[in-house]
């Protein structure tokens, strides 16, 4: 594996003509980098992984996300990730997981992994120094297992303590945005120290929502507060945003038609233009009820790309579609041919993704 990493570095940094420069990569391969999927199975010999293995081999997906269904114990996870790496050793995949702590842990103590308290408990009971030690232990565990991307920390402000997806789950550090920023910054520092990408979520803020976007349409037009944008604004301005995840909340004051994850008004208008963020944006699960119950796949894909988002997350959690990457690619190619997507948008996202992947070598 070491020789493959050295070869990749040679390609990426040393050749006079960058092997992964825009001119040297097919449109299909660029599209592949924008797709992240979930899967069934605990090793690559699982029959449901036949298609995914081929997608990885041919660069048709840029990352995979692990859920509890893919995790048995530490040795199994490490071996599984190494098996995936061996399928295409030149261009690394994102190996992602939702390991926030508390109620959102895929790697549980019951299966032999380090347990981390909820963000709320950390924010209310720990000093920044204690939190740093906790986050460092968590990051080292993930690094040792082979993960390179954690969809955490949550930087939602606990505006509504009874919010089903955030407040009731203890997923927010605080109701004070400044305290959220303090703990989130510490989290990012701990992860950068060991070379793992962290991902801030859920832009533009899910903490006031009365509904759970996992289950259906989530309208925050009358509940969302400007204070919810503060952690994103401060994390971006301080350079502590390596990756940002958009949420599926709908706010008619910003976009009268689409939720944030499908909205150019939110992603391009607010996050990129207003806050000045130029890094990778990944969607929350595009198969969640808030999206899948209201939009067809073509509209989801086209709107997501045109919003200024870079990575589309399809975890295959609620519904398995083993050929989804091919369907997504074909939708994008057809939309480009019809003038519905500018190829420059694909190039833009590809460059951002490759720059981020340089950090996980």
Residues involved in catalysis: 214, 284
Report the candidate in 247, 250, 171 with the shortest Cα–Cα distance to residue 218: 250
Strands 200-203 and 63-66: unpaired
Q: What span, in angstroms and rounded, lies between the C-alpha atoms of 238 and 243?
A: 14
To which H or E segment does residue 238 belong?
A: none
Q: Which two tokens stand for residue 87?
A: 């399928």
Rg of the chain over CA atoms, in angstroms? 19
Q: Which two tokens stand for residue 4?
A: 């493959």
CB neighbour list of residue 6: distance below 8 Å, 6 or more residues apart: none
Q: Backbone phi, then psi, for 105, in 5-degree steps?
A: -135, 125
Helix (H, G, I), strand (E, B) or coil at 40: coil
Chain centre to alpha carbon of residue 305:
15
Residue 94 contacts residue 148 (beta carbons within 8 Å): yes
From the number of C-beta atoms within 10 Å of its C-beta (0-12, 13-18, 19+), residue 160 rates as: buried
Q: Which two tokens stand for residue 109?
A: 């103590």
């Amino acid at each position: 594996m070491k020789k493959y990493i050295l070869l990749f570095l040679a390609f990426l940094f040393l050749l006079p003509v960058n092997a992964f420069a825009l001119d040297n990569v097919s449109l299909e391969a660029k599209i592949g980098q924008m797709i992240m999927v979930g899967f069934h199975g605990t090793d690559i010999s699982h029959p449901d992984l036949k298609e995914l293995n081929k997608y990885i081999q041919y660069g048709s997906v840029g990352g995979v996300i692990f859920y509890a269904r893919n995790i048995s114990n530490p040795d199994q996870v490490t071996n599984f990730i190494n098996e995936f790496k061996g399928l295409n050793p030149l261009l690394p995949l994102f190996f992602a997981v939702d390991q926030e702590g508390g109620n959102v842990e895929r790697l549980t103590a019951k299966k032999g992994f380090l347990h981390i308290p909820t963000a709320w408990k950390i924010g209310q009971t720990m000093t920044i120094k204690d939190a740093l030690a906790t986050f460092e232990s968590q990051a080292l565990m993930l690094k040792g297992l082979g993960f390179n991307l954690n969809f955490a920390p949550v930087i939602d402000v606990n505006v509504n303590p009874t919010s089903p997806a955030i407040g009731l789950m203890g997923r927010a550090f605080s109701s004070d945005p400044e305290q959220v920023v303090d703990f989130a910054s510490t989290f990012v520092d701990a992860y950068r120290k060991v070379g793992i990408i962290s991902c801030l979520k859920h832009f533009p803020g899910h903490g006031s929502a009365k509904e759970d976007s996992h289950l259906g349409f989530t309208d925050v037009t009358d509940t969302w507060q400007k204070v919810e944008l503060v952690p994103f604004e401060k994390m971006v301005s301080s350079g502590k945003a390596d990756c940002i995840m958009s949420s599926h909340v709908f706010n008619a004051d910003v976009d009268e038609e689409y939720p944030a994850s499908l909205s150019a008004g939110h992603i391009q208008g607010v996050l990129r233009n207003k806050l000045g963020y130029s890094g990778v944006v990944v969607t929350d699960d595009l198969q969640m009820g808030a999206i899948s119950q209201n939009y067809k796949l073509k509209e989801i894909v086209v709107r997501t790309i045109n919003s200024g988002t870079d990575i589309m997350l399809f975890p295959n959690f609620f519904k398995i579609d083993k050929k989804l990457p091919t369907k997504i690619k074909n939708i994008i190619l057809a939309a480009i041919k019809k003038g519905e997507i500018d190829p420059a948008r694909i190039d833009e996202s590809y460059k951002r993704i490759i720059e981020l992947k340089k950090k996980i070598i």
